[in-house]
Structure 1
Amino acid sequence: MPLWSSRNRTETVTCLACGDDVVRDEAREYDKHGDRWDRDDKAFEHVCKSCHGDLCHQPRDELEELLVELEAGERSQEAFLLQYFSTVADRYGTLEEGRE
């Protein structure tokens, strides 16, 4: 009996990005807090390998709080994005400013 058989993993998981059901071994664990190593009392979400490759892998400090503050999902995409870009530019500067 393999050592890992005691884990209660499902055979398939749903990709949180595209919504496809994929075999668990063909997905990546996703932790919105960026701490996938602390496994105590955690329920991970999953991203298929294709979507995982498309993700930005840059640090996302403060992102979750910003999305909540800006009420992501509570208004139209256009209204949210206008507010998001404006807030990010005010707090962190524009992308062009960061390249100088």
Structure 2
Amino acid sequence: MWPSRTQTETVTCLACGDQVTRSMAREYDKYGDRWNREEKAFEYLCKSCDDELCRQPREDLEDLLVETRAGETDRESFLSRYLHTVEERYGRLEEES
């Protein structure tokens, strides 16, 4: 059954954890195919977190996360390993001013 049009659906921002109305969030599909909606659970970002995203290509991101053992070790060890691997492949990262 479809939800009532008067009912406001809230979603959770996957970056900051804030609850926002769905109309105030950006919808994402892990595989980039948001038009095929069958049997999918979408993720959401609030507009402020979405505005802070880097729009750089991420073709090999998932392979890089697996290789650097994301989710399998503590945060500090993972970030150190990730940074080292990224700099080894793509060069030193530069911060924006």
1:71 aligned to which of 53, 66, 69 = 69
After TM superposition, the score normalised by the length of structure 1 is 0.74
Structure 1's unaligned 5+ residue stretches are none
Who is 2:87 aligned against?
A: 89
The 5 Å alignment of 1:47-62 reads 47-62=45-60
Alignment of 1:13-24 (within 5 A): 13-24=11-22
CA distance in structure 1 between the aligned counterparts of 2:67 and 2:3, rounded to whole angstroms = 36
4+ long deviations beyond 4 Å:
5-8
Does 2:34 align with 1:36?
Answer: yes
CA deviations 1:8-42 (Å, max 9, x no partner) are 9x711111001111101010011222333343432
CA distance in 1, matches of 2:63, 2:35: 21
TM-score (norm 2): 0.76
Unmatched 5+ residue regions in structure 2? none
- Root mean square deviation of aligned Cα: 2.4
Identical positions, percent: 63
Residues 38-91 of structure 1 deviation map (CA, whole Å, 9 limit, x = unaligned): 434322100011110111111111101211221212222221111111111222
Number of equivalenced pairs:
91
